[in-house]
Structures are given as structure tokens and as C-alpha cells.
Amino acid sequence: MSLRERIQADIKEAMKAKEAARLSTLRLISAAIKDREIAARTERGEDSALSEDDVIALMSKMVKQRQESARAYEEGGRLELAEREEAEIKIIQSYLPRQLTEDEVAAAIEKVIKDLGASSIRDMGRVMADLRAHYAGRMDFGAVGPLIKAKLMG
């Protein structure tokens, strides 16, 4: 069962179980997927269903947006809104692949650098591309960039 099919099935389950918060979040995910497909169709002029990796990337982006919102709500003293964002994050993350630990990320970076024979900062793009191909949705590439840079420079 694809990720998208699983989300649709869970929407039906949430409706039956009358889980309003979960249902709302799942509908947001479904709507975001449909919006992205419509945008792709408009740009390319073709019927393009999103791949699993595209859906994972979209959901990862949704998590980051909610983390930023929750942080802003906490700073503004709106704790009830921050809690709602955190609840949505947990629901979305339940559909994402398990995130790698810091040690696993470091090991993956080390392995890719070794496999590619990367030796200077000019190889950073190749290292990032290889990591994205193998670990999409499983690591935060914003945080990985400086780690790669440190390894290649040091």
C-alpha cells in the first residue's frame, strides 16, 4: 500500500472513529498532495502523480513549517496553538520514515565521502546529491550541509 493510499484509508478510519484532530491533519496532507499535483500538471502540462519520495519531501516540509509555527506561537505566549501544531507534527511524522540518529547521519556522511572519494569542498554537491538519493526524508539536509562541509575541510 502506497503512502498516499494509506493516508486515504486512515482518513476514512478517522471519520468513523470521530477523531477530529487526526482527520483534520490527514485532510491537510491530502490537500497538499493534490495541490502539488495540480501545480505540476500546470507547469509541465502532463498528468503527473507524485512519487513516494515527492510525498515524503512534501510531508517533511509540512513538519518544518509546523515546527516554525509552534516556535512562534510559544514565543508569543499562545501555548494552545503551539500544542495544536505539535499534535499535527506527531501525526504527520507517523507517516514519514524513521529519522536517522546523529551517529547514523555521521556514519552515512563518512561512507558517502569515502565511496565517492570526495576530498575537497568542491565535492560537496556530489556528496549531498548522493545522500539525498539514499536518505530522502530520513535526515535534515539543512543540518547535514555544515557537517559535510566540516568533514571535507577538516
Domain positions in the chain are 3-93, 102-153
Ranges of residues in the chain with a pLDDT under 50 are: none
- What's the confidence (pLDDT) of residue 95? 92
- What's the confidence (pLDDT) of residue 107? 92
Equal CATH topology for 3-93 and 102-153 = no
Q: Which residues contact 13 (CB under 8 A, 6 or more apart)?
A: none
Q: Position 120: which residue type? A: S
Residue 83 backbone dihedrals phi, psi, to 5 degrees: -65, -40
- What's the confidence (pLDDT) of residue 98? 86
Closest among 26, 35, 31, 28 to 6, alpha carbons compared: 26
Q: Which residues contact 145 (CB under 8 A, 6 or more apart)?
A: 124, 128
Model pLDDT for residues 29-45, shown as the tens digit of each residue: 999 999 998 888 887 76
DSSP structure string for 38-99: HHHHHHHSS--PPPHHHHHHHHHHHHHHHHHHHHHHHHTT-HHHHHHHHHHHHHHHTTSPPP
* Distance, CA of 83 to CA of 70 (rounded, Å): 7
- What's the confidence (pLDDT) of residue 39? 86
CATH number of the domain at 3-93, please? 1.10.1510.10
* Distance, CA of 138 to CA of 23 (rounded, Å): 25
- What's the confidence (pLDDT) of residue 72? 96
CATH number of the domain at 102-153, please? 1.10.10.410
Contact indicator for 96, 60 with CB cutoff of 8 Å: yes
With cell 500538471, the residue in question is 41
By residue count, the chain amounts to 154
